[in-house]
Amino acid sequence: MKFLKFIFFGIIFGITLSKAEVISWYRIYEMFRFQSFHMYGVIGSSVILGIIIIQIIKRKQIKSIDGRPIEIEPKARGIKRYLYGGIIFGIGWALTGACPGPLFILVGNGLGVFLVAIASAMLGTYVYGRIKHKLPHY
Amino acid sequence: MEFIYEPWPWYVAGPLIALIMLSLLLSGKRFGLSSNLRSMCAVMGAGKHCDFFDFNWRAQSWNLVFVIGLIIGGFIANNFMGADHVSISQNTIDELKEMGFENPGNNLVPEELFTWDNLLTAKGLIAVILGGFLVGFGARYAGGCTSGHAISGLSDLQKPSLIAVVGFFIGGLLVTYLITPYLLAL
């Protein structure tokens, strides 16, 4: 079953973010108040290791298991969409204390009320899709 | 074995997150959670009346499977690995107490905001429904969330991702300095 490994990766990710308290509203509040190194350590160390990983992949031209080259498409050009979209996302992140991954992990932790937040996030995604052409992107 | 039950430090969690990203890259996939929200809209038929959702979401179904893993992982951590108390700093605890939060850090999330009973209060609507909406809207507008921009994008040294992450912080700081202190008084 080709999907089995993705369930496995998801389980490891879900356990990791739960055990490191990354899914906690309190940790997100603490991060945005600069009152602990914890979240900066989590994101910072994963980015530093990630930079090393991606540099090695690029220089050694490592292929994925299906034999295709690993190409990371550059994000589309522009400033406004990233800045405005980022600010809107940041406001939501600090209010719910959860970004998209943690929303689902919190449900797994037994906090069913986050199903409502997920439905809301789907609605937000849907509204973006509807009014996309009216928003500044570049 | 004791380690499993204690909260995991950043230097364990950060590298594990990078390894998940690597595993997905080696599987020929890209690490990004918010695109699942778009897929879920497409699954529910949003593509019939909006082009943005008219795409082949089946090609992204591996990512929806990853999400099922997230829910299972959360369940395992909560029920078998003792993840419910949060070790936030004393500073944070004192500050939140002053705002009226009872027992900050004793649960995963504050009960004042995230229970079914409080959902239909002003603070519950703002934290759960408005917050969720902005997470979904903002992530798609910015073309990614924490996993897509802050982890994958920064790891690939992409400037758009850096701009997005600066945006995340502007938004987050606005809320924690200007809204959270007054949230419980609503």
User: CA torsion angle for B68, A105, A115, A97 (degrees, to 10)?
Assistant: -150
Closest C-alpha among A22, A30, A20 to residue B12: A20
Residue in chain B closest to A123 (alpha carbons) equals B133
pLDDT tens digit string along B134-173? 999 999 999 999 999 999 999 999 999 999 999 999 999 9
For chain B, the C-alpha Rg in angstroms (whole number) is 19
Burial of A1 (0-12, 13-18, 19+ CB in 10 A): exposed
Query: pLDDT of chain A along its 138 residues, tens only?
Result: 689 999 999 999 999 999 999 999 999 999 999 999 999 999 999 999 999 999 999 999 999 999 999 988 899 999 999 999 999 999 999 999 999 999 999 999 999 999 999 999 999 999 999 999 999 999
User: What pLDDT band is residue B66 in, cutting at 50, 70 and 90?
Assistant: very high
Distance (Å, rounded) from C-alpha A9 to C-alpha A15?
A: 10
Q: Nearest CA to CA, how far is A138 from chain B (Å)?
A: 11
Contacts of B62 (CB under 8 A, 6+ apart): A3, A6, B27, B29
Q: Decide if A7 and B65 are in contact by the 8 Å CB cutoff.
A: yes
Residue in chain A closest to B37 (alpha carbons) equals A122
Q: Nearest CA to CA, how far is B82 from chain A (Å)?
A: 8
pLDDT tens digit string along A44-62? 999 999 999 999 999 999 9
pLDDT for B85 equals: 80
Tell me, yes or no, if A60 comes closer than 8 A to chain B by beta carbon: no
Dihedral sign (CA B155, B159, B160, B162) = positive
Contacts of A5 in chain B (CB under 8 A): 23, 27
Tell me, yes or no, if A56 comes closer than 8 A to chain B by beta carbon: no
Q: Which of B10, B35, B154, B166 is the best residue to mutate to test the A interface, defined by the most A CB atoms within 10 Å of its own CB?
A: B10
Q: How far is CA B108 from the centre of its chain?
A: 13
DSSP of B27-72, one letter per residue?
TT----STHHHHHHHHHTTGGGT-GGG-S-GGGGHHHHHHHHHHHH
Q: Which of A125, A128, A137 is the best residue to mutate to test the B interface, defined by the most B CB atoms within 10 Å of its own CB?
A: A125
Distance (Å, rounded) from C-alpha B47 to C-alpha B56?
A: 10
pLDDT tens digit string along B6-51? 899 999 999 999 999 999 999 999 999 999 999 999 999 999 999 9
Distance (Å, rounded) from C-alpha A51 to C-alpha A39?
A: 18
Distance (Å, rounded) from C-alpha B88 to C-alpha B180?
A: 17
Contacts of A86 in chain B (CB under 8 A): 138, 142, 149, 163-168, 170-171
Q: Decide if A91 and B175 are in contact by the 8 Å CB cutoff.
A: yes
- A36 close to B138: Cβ distance less than 8 angstroms: no
Q: Which of B41, B57, B135 is the best residue to mutate to test the A interface, defined by the most A CB atoms within 10 Å of its own CB?
A: B135
Percentage of chain B exceeding pLDDT 90: 94
Q: What amino acid occupies position A71?
A: E
Distance (Å, rounded) from C-alpha B1 to C-alpha A72?
A: 38
Torsion angles phi and psi, residue A96, rounded to 5: -80, -20
pLDDT for B160 equals: 98
Tell me, yes or no, if A115 comes closer than 8 A to chain B by beta carbon: no
The predicted model scores a pTM of 0.97
